[in-house]
């Protein structure tokens, strides 16, 4: 199974609490943080919620 390389590129300041918690659940806390997550439905759903804050690339 492939993994996703997820990078936080926009600030969490001023965002809704649910969006901040979603970013934290992905392992992202500060701008520039990178997390490698499995490519599954749960991760894709989280990315869909806060995708405008993220940069996502597939890792093989």
The DSSP bridge partners found for residue 7 are 34, 55
Q: Average per-residue pLDDT in the chain? A: 96
What is the count of structural domains for the chain?
Answer: 1
Please say if the pLDDT value at position 1 is more than 80: no
- 3-state helix vs strand vs coil in the chain, percent to 5: 35, 30, 35
- The answer to whether residue 2 scores a pLDDT higher than 90 is yes
Domain limits at 38?
3-59
- DSSP lists the bridge partners of residue 57 as 5
**Phi-psi domain of 23 (left: phi exceeds 0; alpha: psi -120 through 50; beta: other):** alpha
> Residue 7's domain is classified under what CATH number?
3.30.1390.20
Would you say 3 and 23 are in contact if contact means Cβ atoms under 8 Å apart? Answer: no
Q: Is the pLDDT of residue 60 over 90?
A: no
């Amino acid at each position: 199974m492939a993994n996703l390389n997820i990078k936080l590129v926009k600030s969490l300041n001023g965002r809704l609490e649910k969006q901040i918690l979603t970013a934290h659940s992905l392992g992202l806390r500060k701008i520039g943080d990178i997390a490698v997550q499995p490519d599954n439905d749960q991760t894709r759903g989280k990315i869909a919620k806060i995708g405008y804050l993220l940069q996502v690339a597939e890792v093989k």
